[in-house]
Amino acid sequence: MRVMSKIAERAAALVDRVVGSWLSRTGGGAAVRQRELMILSRLALLSSAALVAAPVGLSLVTSPAVALPVGVATVCAAFLFSAVGSIALSRQSTATAAVAPPIAEDFFMEATAGLALFLDPQGNVTTVGGRDKREYLAWIRDPIGKGFVDQIHVSDRILFLQALDQLRQGEATAAVDLRLERPSVSRDNRQFAYLRMDLTARHDSDGVFFSVIAQLRDVSMEQQLRQEAQSRAADARTANDAKSRFLAAVSHELRTPLNAILGFSDILLGEYFGKFENERQREYVGLVRDSGAHLLSVVNTMLDMSKIEAGRYELCLEPFDIAAVVRSCEAMLALQAKTKGVTLTSRVQRGLDEVVADQRAIQQILINLVGNAVKFTDAGGAISIDASMRDGVLNLSVSDTGIGIPGDKLEMLGQPFVQIQNDYSRRFEGTGLGLSLVKGLVALHGGDFAIASTPGSGTIITISIAADGSGVPAAGTARNDLVEFPPRLKAAPALVGVLEEGLFDGREQAKIA
C-alpha cells in the first residue's frame, strides 16, 4: 500500500509540473495559472476514475478487446475537451473583469463635471479628463506631470501638499481651495482663477494607496461674492464706528453750552438780578429753560447710546432700595402727568429687599418708560408703576391706558430714531431714543424685556433682571458677545393683547391702581 501511495504521489507531482510548464507558455499571471491548475487537477482526478469505469461498462455490451481502447479514447477525448473549455471560460471571465474598470474609468473621465485629473501618490498628473475639459485647457497650461503644481499659487501649494499627505495617511477624501494662474490677458482681467479641488484616494485590492482622483470646479464667482460681502461688512463697521464717534463727540460738545443755558435760565427765573417787567418775559425764559432741558436730555441719551453700542458703558453695581427709586421716579414725573390730566400711581411689593444693580441705569429706565407712557396717554388715563420680586428676579412693570401699539409694529420698537407712526401717535413729538436706551440698559444687566399692547387700550412693558446682580459679567471678565444694538424683541407676542398667564393688558393693569 505504501509503495502504491508513493507511486501515486510521484505521478501527481509529475502531472503538476507538466501542466504548470504548459500553462506558463499560454500566458496569464500566477493567480490565473494557479486557478487553471486547480481546474485541470480536478478533471484529471475525474478522468482517472473514468479510465476504469468506461472500459468496464463497454465490456458489458461488447468484447473486452474493443471496450478497452474505445473506453480509453473516449475518456481522453472528454478530458481534452473539458480542459480546453474550462480554461477558455475562465480566461474569458477574467478578461471581462479586467476590461470593466477601464470602461468605468473612461465614462467617469468623460461625464464628470469640471476638470477631472488622475494623480500619482506624489501629486503628478497622469490623466486629464472631465466634461468641461476643453474649457479649462483653453487657459490652463499642460497639467501632465508637474505642470499642474507649477501653476498653483505659491501660497496655496502647501495646502495642496497637505491634502495629498492626508490621503497618504489614510484619509479617504480631502478638499482644498486653490488659485491657479491665468494668462496675462483674460476676458475678465483676473490674474488668478479660484478652484475648489476634491480629492479621493484610490487603493488596490491589498489596500495600498496608488493614485488620486481629483475633481476641479471654478468657484471664482463665489469668491468674488464672498469678498464683496466682506468688504461691505467692513464698510458698515467703519461707518458704524464713525457714527458712534460722531455722536459721542457732538454730545460731549453740546453739553457744555446747554449747561450754561440752563444755569443762566434758572438765574433769570429766580429774578436774582431784577424783576421781570411783564409775564411774557417770564414765559419766554421758561420756554428757553424747558427747551434746553429737553435738548440736554436728548444729548445725554445719545451719549449713553453711543457708549452702549461701542461696548464702553460701564455699570456701577451697588445695593439700593428699589422702592425709593420707584417713589423718586413717581415724584419726578407726577407734575407732568398731572398737567396732562393723567393719573400716575405706583405699587411696590411689601417687604421688597434691596437689589444690586446700577441705580442710575434703573432710574433712567423707569423715567424713560414712564415718560413715554405719559406722552402717549390722553387726559383721563391712568399709569401704574409696579415693582415685585419672584425667585430672585426683580420685575418692573409700567402699564398705561394710552393709544397702544399695533401687533405688526412691535418689532420696530427699540430702534434708534424710530417712532411708531399712526393716526394717534403722529401728533406726538420725540426722537425715538428712549425705548432703545431702555433695552440697551436692560441687556447690559443681563435682563429680559417684554412688551404687549392693544391698539386703543393700552400698553404694558415689563423688564426682569437678577436682583443680586448676577446677570452682569464680573469685572475683568471678557465678554464674548457685545450687547446687540439696536436691541430687538426676543419674541413678538403671537396675538396682540394676549399675555402670559397672570398678566393683564395695559388698560386693566392701570385701572387696578
Kindly report, residue by residue over 62-72, the tens digit of the pLDDT.
777 777 777 77
pLDDT digits (tens, 9 = 90+) for 197-248: 999 998 888 788 888 999 998 888 888 888 888 888 888 888 877 777 777 7
**What is the grid cell recorded at 311?**
461696548
What does the DSSP 8-state code read for residue 349? -
Least confident of 196-210, 252-266, 353-367: 252-266
User: What's the mean pLDDT in 313-334?
Assistant: 86
Label the pairing between strands 343-348 and 355-358.
unpaired
Mean pLDDT, the chain, whole residue set: 76
Helices marked H in 270-321: 279-309
Strand partners, 384: 345, 399
Q: 163 burial class (0-12, 13-18, 19+ CB within 10 angstroms)?
A: buried
Beta strands in 422-505 (DSSP E): 448-454, 458-466
* Residue 127: its H or E element: strand 125-129
pLDDT digits (tens, 9 = 90+) for 466-475: 988 887 765 4
Range ranked top by mean pLDDT from 288-302, 305-319, 357-371, 429-443? 357-371
Q: What confidence tier does 415 reach under pLDDT thresholds 50, 70, 90?
A: low
Domains of the chain with CATH codes: 1-96 (no CATH), 102-225 (3.30.450.20), 226-291 (no CATH), 315-466 (3.30.565.10)
What number of residues does the chain have?
A: 513
Question: Half-sphere exposure of 69 toward its Cβ, with a 13 Å CA cutoff?
Answer: 2
Nearest to 483 by CA among 334, 312, 248: 312
Are 131 and 110 a contacting pair, CB within 8 Å?
yes
